[in-house]
């Protein structure tokens, strides 16, 4: 898209971005959708960007889980895994759940704990400590669990844990995962993973919680065949939605339905942990995908990053309000501490990457003393700052443990797997957009050089200036609660389904007010008597805030997301500003 004509002529905005609007093909599709549906042009533009055919628009705006849910049995080992878990539940066997410590792992564990609890079974939860045990199953933990349990279920991990699973002697192991697998599977009764080498990849977009949900669908089906009434699975979709968004799974196909339906379940506030955490986070409106990714998710993650690893799963699974309140309060405090630690690591990593040069296909940084629990977030921030795949590594002695994040179109997980096969990494794995690795200190430079070369072969570093994609232009008077509700129906928005962004052209800037140290609020006037409130979070963390502050009474092109502002019992439309540019005729 770097060759596309700059939208509104903006080739370098306040944030150094090139604005890109819909191309001719999407304009024609938007027109066809409008003729077929009479939906507002802004909604048609968003549907066209998602390449929705006119005759499919109605179904797309109301995604049905029944219509989109795949057959669980299309995944290898699914029937065997479901049968084994159902047998363990109905015969009251001793079951242990070994879960990863992130949001997806916590939600996956809570799904199983909920389902088993409804079946009258209390399972053991085991989440490894990030600092002392690292990611995934390890031999000592599996040996200990095997000694006291008849079945171990590994969720969001286990596909690459050959030696660790071999240590679970005398006990059946079921793996429910979504991370990239190797050519050989670990020694387990069943490995259900849409990203196994022998799968077709059609369900590779599922997070682990999505895989667990499909297993429960199959377990309920097998139970009904035996005359058993299984637990209500729809009530569990809040967990699937949270995991899907927090794990940055693409919001396509069944994932859209998972999140759409899950948000409705979450709005009912029936899960004590999520209800209490939402209240502590001052979430005073119906939850949206944004809240799952940026408000709820980080707090669930905080326990696994710098606290007790199992706190997130325990919070999500508990039905005790007092326990939920105590866990939520602790996670909120840990999240505040996590932000402080992460800010220091992020600043150091960015400075190091900039000193190394950010024009290479890979941005990376490594140092002693960095907390391993925040390197994933630091890698994500480094990726955002450089628009390149990024890796941040915490060194400890002769070993470094790293976390990486990628950009669209670049498969970081596959490159990490190749480095492991080539012997340049001690270990590693993940998926397209995120991966982890372990590297020897004395092999660090060589490994990062090779990783950069592999990523360059995929096109990393050749994307050109970062673009801001816009869906069209609006005037303040057209931005109404009704339009925002119709746009929301085209969601949820997230990975592979960016939230709609619109430009407001030639807006006069009025009533500028600074909020705290970094935020900014003002009004824009389109010259037709209609005004719109604008909020810009973190404005003074970049050149955007000073630019706007200098343009009181003057005109700017504005770009961002339109939303409802809930304040003082009132609901008013506003623009959440992402960028701004000076019109050519006033430059």
User: What pLDDT digit, counting tens, does each position of 379-414 carry?
Assistant: 999 998 888 999 999 999 999 999 999 998 899 999
- Residue among 411, 401, 433, 376 nearest 207 (CA): 433
pLDDT at 34: 97
pLDDT at residue 3 greater than cutoff 60: no
Does the pTM of the predicted model rise above 0.95? no
pLDDT at 297: 96
Handedness of CA 481, 484, 489, 495 (dihedral sign): negative
The whole-angstrom separation of Cα 288 and Cα 249 is 16
Largest CA distance in the chain: 77
> Scanning the structure block, which residue is given the tokens 């977030």?
377
pLDDT at residue 241 greater than cutoff 90: yes
Percent of the chain with pLDDT over 70: 98
- Banded model confidence at residue 134, pLDDT cuts 50, 70, 90: confident
More confident call, 236 vs 569: 236
pLDDT at 214: 98
The whole-angstrom separation of Cα 161 and Cα 465 is 40
Handedness of CA 271, 274, 276, 278 (dihedral sign): negative
pLDDT at 1: 43
Phi/psi for 237 (5° steps) reads -70, -15
The whole-angstrom separation of Cα 214 and Cα 525 is 50
Q: What is the pLDDT of residues 431-442, one digit of tens each?
A: 888 899 999 999
Q: Which residues pair with 562 in a beta bridge?
A: 575
Phi/psi for 23 (5° steps) reads -90, 180
Section 463-486 average pLDDT:
91
The whole-angstrom separation of Cα 192 and Cα 179 is 11
Q: What is the pLDDT of residues 297-355, one digit of tens each?
A: 999 999 988 878 999 999 999 999 999 999 999 999 999 999 999 999 999 999 999 99
Q: What is the pLDDT of residues 265-288, one digit of tens each?
A: 999 999 999 999 999 999 988 899
The DSSP line for 529-543 is S-EEEEEETTGGGSS
The whole-angstrom separation of Cα 338 and Cα 351 is 20
The whole-angstrom separation of Cα 192 and Cα 23 is 41
The DSSP line for 35-83 is HHH---HHHHHHHHHTT--GGGHHHHHS--HHHHPPPGGGSTTHHHHHH
Q: What mean pLDDT value characterizes the chain?
A: 94
pLDDT at 135: 87
Section 44-65 average pLDDT:
96
pLDDT at 464: 63
Q: Are 24 and 551 in contact (CB under 8 A)?
A: no
Q: Are 107 and 240 in contact (CB under 8 A)?
A: yes
Phi/psi for 437 (5° steps) reads -155, 160
- Banded model confidence at residue 2, pLDDT cuts 50, 70, 90: very low
Question: What domains sit in the chain, N to C, each tagged with a CATH number?
Answer: 7-21+470-586 (2.40.50.460), 68-332 (3.90.1640.30), 360-457 (3.10.310.30)
The whole-angstrom separation of Cα 537 and Cα 428 is 36
pLDDT at residue 465 greater than cutoff 70: no
Q: What is the pLDDT of residues 138-188, one digit of tens each?
A: 999 999 999 999 999 999 999 999 999 999 999 999 999 999 998 999 999
pLDDT at 305: 87
């Amino acid at each position: 898209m770097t060759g596309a004509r700059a939208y509104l002529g903006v080739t370098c905005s306040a944030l150094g971005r090139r604005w890109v609007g819909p191309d001719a093909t999407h304009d024609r599709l938007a027109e066809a959708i409008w003729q077929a549906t009479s939906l507002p042009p802004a909604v048609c533009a968003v549907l066209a960007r998602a390449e929705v055919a006119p005759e499919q628009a109605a179904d797309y705006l109301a995604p049905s889980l029944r219509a989109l849910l795949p057959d669980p049995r299309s995944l290898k080992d699914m029937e065997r895994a479901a049968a084994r878990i159902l047998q363990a539940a109905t015969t009251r066997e001793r079951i242990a759940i070994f879960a990863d410590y992130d949001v997806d792992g916590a939600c996956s564990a809570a799904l199983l704990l909920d389902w088993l609890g409804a079946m009258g079974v209390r399972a053991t939860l085991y989440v490894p400590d990030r600092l002392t045990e690292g990611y995934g199953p390890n031999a000592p933990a599996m040996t200990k669990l095997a000694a006291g349990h008849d079945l171990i279920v590994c969720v969001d991990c286990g596909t690459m844990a050959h030696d660790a699973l071999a240590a679970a002697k005398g006990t059946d192991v079921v793996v429910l995962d979504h991370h990239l697998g190797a050519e050989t599977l670990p020694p387990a009764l069943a490995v259900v993973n849409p990203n196994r080498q022998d799968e077709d990849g059609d369900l590779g977009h599922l997070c682990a919680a999505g895989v667990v949900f499909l297993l429960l669908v199959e377990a309920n089906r097998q139970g009904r065949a035996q005359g058993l009434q299984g637990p209500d699975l729809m009530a569990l979709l809040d967990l699937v939605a949270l995991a899907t968004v927090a794990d940055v799974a693409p919001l396509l196909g069944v994932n859209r339905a998972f999140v759409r339906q899950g948000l409705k379940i979450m709005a009912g506030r029936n899960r004590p942990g999520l209800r209490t955490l939402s209240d502590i986070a001052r979430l005073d409106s119906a939850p949206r995908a944004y809240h799952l990714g940026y408000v709820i998710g980080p707090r669930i993650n905080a326990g696994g990053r710098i606290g007790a690893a199992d706190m997130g799963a325990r919070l999500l699974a508990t039905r005790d309000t007092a326990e939920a309140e105590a866990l939520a309060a602790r996670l909120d405090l840990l999240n505040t501490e996590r932000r402080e630690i992460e800010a220091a690591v992020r600043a150091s990593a960015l400075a190091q990457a900039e000193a190394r040069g950010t024009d290479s296909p890979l941005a990376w940084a490594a140092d002693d003393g960095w907390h391993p629990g925040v390197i994933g977030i630091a890698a994500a921030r480094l990726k955002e700052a450089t628009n390149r795949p990024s890796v941040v590594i915490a060194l400890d002695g002769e070993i470094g443990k790293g976390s990486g994040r990628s950009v669209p179109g670049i498969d970081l997980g596959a490159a990490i797997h190749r480095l492991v096969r080539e012997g340049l990494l001690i270990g590693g794995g993940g998926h397209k957009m995120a991966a982890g690795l372990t590297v020897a200190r004395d092999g660090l430079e060589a490994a990062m050089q090779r990783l950069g070369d592999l990523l360059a072969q995929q096109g990393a570093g050749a994307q050109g200036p970062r673009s801001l994609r816009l869906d069209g232009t609006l005037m303040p008077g057209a931005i109404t609660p009704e339009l925002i509700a119709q746009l929301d129906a085209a969601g949820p928005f997230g990975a592979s389904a960016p939230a709609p962004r619109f430009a407001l052209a030639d807006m006069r800037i009025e009533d500028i007010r600074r909020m705290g140290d970094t935020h900014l609020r003002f009004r824009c006037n389109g010259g037709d008597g209609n005004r719109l409130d604008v909020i810009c979070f973190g404005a003074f963390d970049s050149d955007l805030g000073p630019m706007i502050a200098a343009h009181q009474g003057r005109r700017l092109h504005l770009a961002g997301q339109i939303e409802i502002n809930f304040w003082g019992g009132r609901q008013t439309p506003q623009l959440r500003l992402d960028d701004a540019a000076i019109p050519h005729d006033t430059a």
